[in-house]
Amino acid sequence: MRLRCAVLDDYQDVAAEAADWSAVADEVEVVPFGRHVDSEDALAAALAGFDIVVTLRERVPFPASLIARLPRLKLLVASGMRNSVIDYAAAEAHGVTVCGTASSSTAPVELTWALLLGLARGIVEESNALRSGGPWQSTVGADLHGRRLGLLGLGRIGGRVARVGLAFGMRVSAWSQNLTRERADEVGAELAASKEELLADSDFVSVHLALGDRTRGLLGAAELALLKPTAYLVNTSRAAIVDQDALLDALHAGRIAGAGVDVFDVEPLPAGHPMRTAPRLLATPHLGYVSRATYATYYGQAVEDIRAFLDGAPVRRLP
């Protein structure tokens, strides 16, 4: 009897074609889930008959309580090599092997700039007006050249975002708790003296920090109040870094020019969620890593992880 493998959150129905699954086809039945399962009870019921689960990024939490309700589960494959929503101790205690895959910063860097440019030039508003017979030119774009780009975080993604900003002729500043002048110099950015200085001085602020105890709620009402009324905020990192209620208040009050957001406190967003209708907001449904090349890596290496597990020699084990 073949093992059963659930592929979660395959929204676009592409998991089967994004990689060659033939290496495990004789031993594993692959079952894509096209819709998100959003409660632990529903997940426990849906996954009860599966031996392997492939999950994308941190879309689905696997706490100890859920793992304990999945007695057949033997292998959990998570895309990327870092995942904060899996209880690794519980997995080990229940005999569940956890493996990861490689990941690339290319797709989130490109989406960051898609959001930033879309905000700066009013792309969505102008395109919608053109297609619907609306006014011919109704916005005045914000220039990038000569303006200051402030980056919260200067790691793999933040560093590449910085280099694109420099190519546009922007002045780039960066700050994080552990950022050194040497790292800032490496990518051609200025080291901001403080988070507050960066927020007050920047025309565009982009978030590129990992979520943790020190970064959760890093930008609240007081921090957002430091932004210029002409400034734009972009968050393609983690929703909890920016206080969502405070951001909604700032957008509705017009205290900032706009925001580009790819991450949310609840995903997928419920139909009536206030982020769906907020003014001055360019929002995308967590597309940061959703690209053909990224999916080829995720699913291709998921197949490798499964094959290695079946052969008794798991690879890319987490944590």
Q: Which residues are catalytic?
A: 238, 267, 286
Q: Report in angstroms the alpha-carbon separations of 243 from 125, 175, 219, 298, 307.
A: 26, 19, 6, 30, 42
Place of tokens 């597309």: 287
Rg (CA), the chain: 21
Strand partners, 29: 4
Q: What is the phi/psi pair of residue 87, to 5°?
A: -85, 95
Residues 6+ apart with CB under 8 A from 81: 100, 101, 102, 103, 316, 318
Q: Which two tokens stand for residue 289?
A: 């890593």
3-state secondary structure of 111: helix
How far is residue 265's CA from residue 268's CA, in Å, rounded to a whole number?
9
Q: Which two tokens stand for residue 82?
A: 């870092």
Are 219 and 207 in contact by the 8 Å Cβ rule? The answer is yes
